[in-house]
Amino acid sequence: MSALNIKKGSTRHSAYNLRPNFSDVEERHTITVLVENEPGVLARVIGLFAGRGYNIDSLTVAEVDHTGHLSRITIVTTGTPQVIEQIKAQLGRIVPVHEVTDLTVAGPFVERELAIVKVVSDGEKRVEALRLADIFRAKVVDSTLGSFIFELTGSPDKIDAFADLMRPLGLTKIARTGVAALLRGD
């Protein structure tokens, strides 16, 4: 018996290229994770993403229930459908994790990010920056004769759009919080 009756080139798929049955299209998902707020819990979550090679596009965390010591972590990630499924299952087996919700699947959901943007300019550019900030409903939270700091809340896309517009008008620094998100309705 020959064990080698295989066509040349038919073994290009390695065992690490595992997903013939799944879509290869990467999807963006917003996942919220309710965790016990104990030391190291964020390291567990981040370590899982780093150790298994998953992406983190954005991550926010804060205690949301002070009496129950529960924190909500909101993670925006991209991956193929199978990777997204794995991420949720792997998050679910972390011992202090109470609940994993994929808002992109469970949706519709509200997604917000806060940014503060410093714009240094003068003359016409300064006026234009202020005018655009008004259109975006950004608030001026600090101002000098040569600069503004705007505060802006919205979807990541809106913040990207605002930053793109401000760049030629003197944007020097931007700080973003990452996404916080909740399901709509009850």
In the complex, the residues that contact other proteins under the rule CB under 8 A are 1-4, 6, 11-18, 20-22, 36, 39-40, 43-44, 47, 51, 82, 85-86, 89-90, 92-93, 95-96, 98
- Of 91 and 169, the one with the shorter C-beta distance to other proteins is 91
Q: Phi and psi (nearest 5°) for 44?
A: -60, -45
Closer by beta carbon to other proteins, 21 or else 144: 21
Compare residues 13 and 137 and give the one whose CB is closer to other proteins: 13
Residue 149 Cα distances to 55, 131, 132, 135, angstroms: 31, 14, 13, 16
CB atoms within 10 A of CB 171: 19
Q: Write down the least CB distance from residue 155 to other proteins, Å.
A: 31
In the bound state with other proteins, the residue whose beta carbon lies nearer, of 86 and 147, is 86
CB 57 to other proteins: min, Å = 22
Peptide bond into 168 cis (omega under 30): no
Please provide the size of the chain in residues. 186
Instruction: Sort residue 97 into left (φ over 0), alpha (ψ -120 to 50) or beta.
Output: beta
Least gap, CB of 5 to other proteins (angstroms): 8
CB of 44 to other proteins, least distance (A): 6
